[in-house]
């Protein structure tokens, strides 16, 4: 393909999988990774040499407008994933979420407007807050129950404003809870898998009654790729959800089943969110994604979820992967 794509947040969980997916499909990919003195490309350091050799890696900081603009030159599309995403850390350091998620998105939009680049912006299901009705569609009210979700609401509104004010071709993709290999241990599925893989059977968790709509990472990145060329998706917000909900408790039990372990759940108070901040229920419709992107999850339903859990746990239990995680501590 002649399409050249800039992926911000390429060093992260979803971003690294997305870069691999795009390379395999024949796209020309420029990977924007967070500058650091270790010269680390994050999770891109773990991809095959064959894939890495085809990626144009650029180090920078999404908060720096000049670096973003320079990275975007020569590109046709930017898939903007760079963000701070951990909800508990947003309680501690909300300023950093405003700078990264809102100002960083503004930098992407300004550069894209000046350079004539199409934007696929990443939102999150957290912007809906606790479901007021299910399944959640794109018209559901927006409720910022955490500083993180509030920052993403601000970023989403900025993205739409550049479409409505300047006719910038923007599509907002709103993934529900993505999981899979490489995910941070601050998320619940890696937390459970990591504890079991490390030999623990008393599994420390926060609230176990909330429900989530989980997407396997392969499905999520497929949705992003489909948005690149979807003309009808410009100016739209599109949910990527599995149209299936499951509680955190049942998720833990499903993981234990897949991993062949008998577990007990132990409530760890430090993992509990403030009462008004906990999103109690997430359950998405994916009708709009099917209509505009021709997208539907390959790992949908309970059987698909367990298939994804099996692939995820198989990756985590490999010593070279598990050693990257501090499974004995609570990760913000």
Both structure tokens of 57: 């890696």
Residue range 281-301: mean pLDDT, rounded? 98
> Mind listing the pLDDT tens digit for each residue in 25-61?
999 999 999 999 999 999 999 999 999 999 999 999 9
Distance CA 226, CA 248 (A): 30
Q: 160-166: long-range contacts (C-beta < 8 A, 24 or more apart)?
A: 160/235, 160/237, 162/109, 162/112, 162/113, 162/119, 163/234, 163/235, 164/235, 166/113
Per the prediction, the chain carries an average pLDDT of: 97
pTM: 0.97
Element at 29 (helix H, strand E): strand 28-34
Check whether 226 has a pLDDT greater than 70: yes
Domain covering 4-179+216-242+280-298 in this structure, CATH number: 3.40.50.720
Q: What does the pLDDT look like over 113-155, one tens digit per residue?
A: 999 999 999 999 999 999 999 999 999 999 999 999 999 999 9
Query: How far is residue 187's CA from residue 48's CA, in Å, rounded to a whole number?
Result: 25
Rounded to 10 degrees, the C-alpha dihedral 101/103/108/109 comes to: 110
Q: Which residue has the tokens 């975007």?
A: 72
> What does DSSP say about strands 211-212 and 246-247: parallel, antiparallel, or unpaired?
antiparallel
Give the start-to-end residue ranges of the domains of the chain.
4-179+216-242+280-298
pLDDT for residue 24 is more than 80: yes
- Rounded CA-CA distance 309/299 in Å is 10
**What are the tens digits of pLDDT across the range 166-219?**
999 999 999 999 999 999 999 999 999 999 999 999 999 999 999 999 999 999
pLDDT of residue 126: 98
Q: Give the confidence band of 1 by pLDDT, cuts at 50, 70, 90.
A: low
pLDDT of residue 2: 83
Model confidence pLDDT, tens digit, residues 301-326: 999 999 999 999 999 999 999 999 99
């Amino acid at each position: 393909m002649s399409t050249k794509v800039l992926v911000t947040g390429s060093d992260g969980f979803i971003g690294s999988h997305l870069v691999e997916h795009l390379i395999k499909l024949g796209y020309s990919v420029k990977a924007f990774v967070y500058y650091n003195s270790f010269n680390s490309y994050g999770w891109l350091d773990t991809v095959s040499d064959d894939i890495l050799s085809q990626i144009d890696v650029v180090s920078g900081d999404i908060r720096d407008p000049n670096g973003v603009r320079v990275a975007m030159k020569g590109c046709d599309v930017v898939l903007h994933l760079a963000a701070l995403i951990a909800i508990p850390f947003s309680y501690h350091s909300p300023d950093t979420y405003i700078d990264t998620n809102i100002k960083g998105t503004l930098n992407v939009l300004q550069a894209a407007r000046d350079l004539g680049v199409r934007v696929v912006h990443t939102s999150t299901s957290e912007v809906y807050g606790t479901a007021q009705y299910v399944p959640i569609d794109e018209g559901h009210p927006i409720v910022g129950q955490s500083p993180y979700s509030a920052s993403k609401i601000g970023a989403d509104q900025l993205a739409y404003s550049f479409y409505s004010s300047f006719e910038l071709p923007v599509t907002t993709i709103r993934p529900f809870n993505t999981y899979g290999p490489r995910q941070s241990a601050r998320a619940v599925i890696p937390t459970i898998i990591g504890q079991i893989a490390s030999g623990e059977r008393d599994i420390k968790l926060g609230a176990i009654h909330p429900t989530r709509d989980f997407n396997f990472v392969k499905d999520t990145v497929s949705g992003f790729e489909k948005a690149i060329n979807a003309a009808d998706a410009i100016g739209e917000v599109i949910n990527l959800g599995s149209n299936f909900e499951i509680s955190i408790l049942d998720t833990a039990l499903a993981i234990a089943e897949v991993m062949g372990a008998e577990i007990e759940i132990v409530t760890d108070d430090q993992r509990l969110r403030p009462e008004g901040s906990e999103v109690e229920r997430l359950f998405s419709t994916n009708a709009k994604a099917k209509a505009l992107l021709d997208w539907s999850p390959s790992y949908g339903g309970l059987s698909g979820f367990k298939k994804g859990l099996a692939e995820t746990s198989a990756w985590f239990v490999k010593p070279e992967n598990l050693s990257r995680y501090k499974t004995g501590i609570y990760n913000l």
